[in-house]
């Protein structure tokens, strides 16, 4: 099933649409234990998003390293800083755990492939159409899962002393830059992190990475609505946007294809599921 992302209008998302060829809903079911497990595990409408405090995984699942495969361990060990190794490793282990629960396999038996922009997907999906997106920053990770529905998540920890002024022209269109310049200095930084995370979540849902200039992504803000409702990403009415509260100093966004999709936020900060 090619997902209809609408006209490739101001966003020019035709290429992105081409990358979003998902398994057909009516794809022939595979027989065997895997498919039985898939059927047994309830599917859900919309999306589920886990907000994960990384330290909670160490406490509740000290053996998380055993979920990783050899290339992931190698990749983890290539990070110079211990905190970067930990952030990557814990997040990937949790991604495996959540996918494994849906697929009815042990976490190490989940296999990944990547598209040409680096977006990971299931290498051997037995017909579930399971889509996922991952982000990690500071002490937190976000993992979003949806069936037959592109999803993108992004979390960013604000870096102290950073105003984002230098990256604003990359994130924003000229019209957005004008809007942002009318804000006071404190509000401006928060607004830029907001724009950054929303656009990155959207670009991740499309799977095209930064080959797609964030400044070209259509993002509009209304001043007469509450925070989630204030923003519109992409073609109006085609995407659901949620802005979850993570912790002080963090900005986050979740984009799910389709209007008014339910998004079930699950906080994992004290105990494991």
Site for ligand COA in 187-206 (CB under 6 A): 196, 199-200, 203-204
Residue (46 or 207) nearer to ligand COA, CB = 207
Residue among 12, 129, 209, 258 that touches ligand COA (CB under 6 A): 209
Who contacts 232 (Cβ-Cβ below 8 Å, separation ≥6)?
Answer: 218, 219, 220, 221, 222, 241
Structure tokens at 243: 């802005």
The HSE-up count of residue 244 (CA atoms within 13 Å, CB side) is 26
Radius of gyration of the chain (CA): 19
Closest distance to ligand COA from the beta carbon of 195 (Å):
7
Residue (61 or 117) nearer to ligand COA, CB = 117
Closest distance to ligand COA from the beta carbon of 201 (Å):
8
Cβ pair 152, 255 in contact under 8 A: yes
Site for ligand COA in 70-129 (CB under 6 A): 88, 91-92, 117-120
- How far, CA to CA in Å, does 121 sit from each of 96, 117, 130? 11, 12, 9
* Phi, psi torsion values for 164, nearest 5 degrees: 70, 5
Site for ligand COA in 125-144 (CB under 6 A): 133-136
* 149 is an interface residue for ligand COA by CB under 6 A: no
Spatial distance between the Cα atoms of 3 and 110, rounded to a whole number of angstroms: 25
* 18 is an interface residue for ligand COA by CB under 6 A: no
Binding site for ligand COA (CB under 6 A): 88, 91-92, 117-120, 133-136, 154, 171, 196, 199-200, 203-204, 207-210, 214
């Amino acid at each position: 099933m090619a997902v209809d992302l609408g006209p490739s209008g101001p966003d020019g998302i035709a290429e992105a649409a081409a990358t979003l060829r998902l398994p057909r809903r009516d794809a022939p079911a595979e027989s065997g234990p895997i498919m039985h497990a898939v059927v047994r595990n309830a599917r859900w409408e919309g999306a589920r998003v886990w907000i994960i405090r990384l330290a909670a995984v160490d406490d509740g699942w000290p053996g998380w390293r055993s979920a990783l495969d050899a290339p992931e361990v190698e990749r983890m060990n290539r990070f110079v800083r211990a905190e970067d190794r930990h952030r990557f490793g814990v997040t990937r282990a949790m991604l495996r755990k959540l996918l494994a629960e849906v697929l009815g396999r042990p976490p190490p038996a989940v296999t990944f492939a990547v598209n040409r922009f680096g977006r990971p997907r299931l290498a051997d999906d037995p017909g579930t159409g399971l889509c996922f997106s991952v982000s990690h920053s500071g002490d937190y990770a976000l993992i979003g899962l949806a069936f037959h529905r592109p999803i993108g998540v992004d979390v960013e920890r604000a870096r102290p002393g950073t105003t984002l002024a230098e990256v604003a022209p990359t994130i924003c269109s000229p019209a957005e830059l004008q809007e942002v310049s009318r804000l006071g200095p404190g509000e401006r930084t928060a607004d830029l992190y907001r724009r950054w995370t929303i656009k990155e979540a959207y670009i991740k849902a499309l799977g095209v990475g930064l080959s797609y200039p964030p400044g070209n992504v259509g993002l509009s803000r209304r001043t007469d609505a509450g925070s989630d409702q204030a923003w519109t990403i992409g073609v109006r009415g085609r995407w659901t946007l949620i802005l979850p509260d993570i912790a002080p100093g963090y900005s986050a966004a979740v984009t799910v294809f389709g209007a008014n999709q339910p998004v079930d936020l699950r906080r994992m900060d004290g105990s494991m599921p």
